[in-house]
Copies of this chain bind each other. A is one copy, B any other.
Amino acid sequence: MKAVIKAVPKGTVTTPEGFFAGAVSAGINERAADKLDLAVLFSETPCVAAGVFTTSRLKGAPVQLTRQRLERGQVGAVVVNSGCSNSFTGEHGLVDAAEVASLVAEGIGIDPEEVLVASTGTIGVPLPMKKIRASVENIIMSRDGGHDLAKAMMTTDTMAKETAVSVKIGDSQFTIGGAAKGSGMIHPDMATLLCFLTTDAAVERGFLKDTLKKAVETSFNMVSVDGDTSPSDMVLLLANGMAGGEPITAGSEQADVFRQALEQVCVYLARLIAADGEGATRLVEVTVNGAASVSEARKAARAVVSSSLVKAAIHGADPNWGRVVAAVGRSGADMDEYKIDLFIGDIQVIRAGSHLKSGKRAVSQLLKGSEVNLRVNLNLGEVRATAWGCDLSEEYVAINSEYMT
């Protein structure tokens, strides 16, 4: 069966049928009082939903509440705020998160248990509930509210991150949309960042859960900005079935194309997050080929993309590729220094462990591009993995020295 996956121009999280969103400026972060910072995503029919959450032992109140509710049943809406993460806020934080959900449920007219909550921003500060109570009722939801929601999620992000793809398979059609935020506190092996994914496909719950987990592994979990992980991270996927048809299950003929389309959306958003890392001037893509196993390939790719020394060298367009090999060496992945190849863009600089007389100037020129591609071949097996990150600039330090004061 043939399928076509197409990007939807200006696609957002509300591109799939039946999804609505709206946002307001509630003044949660006093330093950015006019910024959109409180938003609601709503589906006109109840959704089957799945989530992936931070692996930190410290879990923000929204993460705790949303995990519980996801396990229980169907989902009608998600409320998100930026400016305050409502994490490390104790039992009071849980009470606040539940109240925010209830306010939204009341406005829409659904069960509060069907409302999920997400927050991002400063840790250890209570939500300004007065401001939120006064603002929730001002949110106006519409079919084209997705972009406002993406803007309301932003903290140090410099651009809204969103996309949608439409999928045609035989006679049927469905759409997947997504909005994400990220910038600092982004690191591999975690359900990093905030991301809301929507689809009008009908999807069976177990398959939805499994597919989301796999898509996150090859996208968001392969992104590193600074090695830190937030207690607030979550990726949610809501499927409202409005495209009709039988629910997609693990065995069904639409399963593979759904998985592929979801991964495409996730990788697109993951790349945007890497490119928009705090202070980043370049997207860095690291592909490791020839690994003996998936876990070895991922370890090696993530070690390179996370290396402060590699990141700083790329920032300075410094052709210091010994640092790339050193990062592979300390990653824990198996390597043989007499077998390794390294390409920077299209230029091979190392072959079987030997340095080629490649023009340093040409490499330095490549490192100045807005996207830098490093390809390592371990030549030990058949498996590959790709990771994304950014350069390390003086601006990163400046942003994070002055975040709160």
A interface residue numbers (CB < 8 A to B): 54-59, 87-88, 90, 122-125, 184-185, 190, 226-231, 306-309, 312-313, 315-323, 325-335, 337-338, 353-355, 360, 364, 392-394, 396-405
Contacts and interface: CB of A to CB of B under 8 A. Distances in A.
A323 B123 contact: yes
Max count, chain B CB within 10 A of own CB: residue among A230, A321, A335, A405: A405
Given A88-B337, A90-B337, 17 more contacts: A56-B326, A57-B329, A57-B330, A57-B332, A58-B335, A90-B338, A123-B322, A123-B325, A123-B326, A231-B330, A308-B308, A313-B401, A313-B404, A316-B405, A317-B405, A318-B404, A397-B397
Nearest to A230: B326
**Number of copies of this protein chain within its complex:** 2
Q: Which of A54, A316, A334, A354 has the most B CB atoms < 10 Å from its CB?
A: A316
A330 B400 contact: no
Contacts of A58: 325-326, 328-330, 335, 337
Contacts of A354: 90
Contacts of A309: 184-185, 226, 228, 400
28 contacts: A57-B328, A57-B330, A58-B326, A58-B328, A88-B322, A88-B353, A90-B338, A123-B320, A123-B323, A124-B355, A185-B309, A226-B309, A227-B306, A228-B327, A228-B330, A308-B396, A308-B400, A309-B400, A313-B403, A316-B400, A316-B402, A318-B402, A319-B405, A320-B403, A320-B405, A392-B400, A393-B397, A397-B397
Nearest to A123: B322
A56 B190 contact: no
B394 A398 contact: yes
Nearest to A328: B58
A271 B171 CA distance: 68
A402 B393 CA distance: 12
B400 A313 contact: yes
A329 B355 CA distance: 42
Contacts of A59: 329
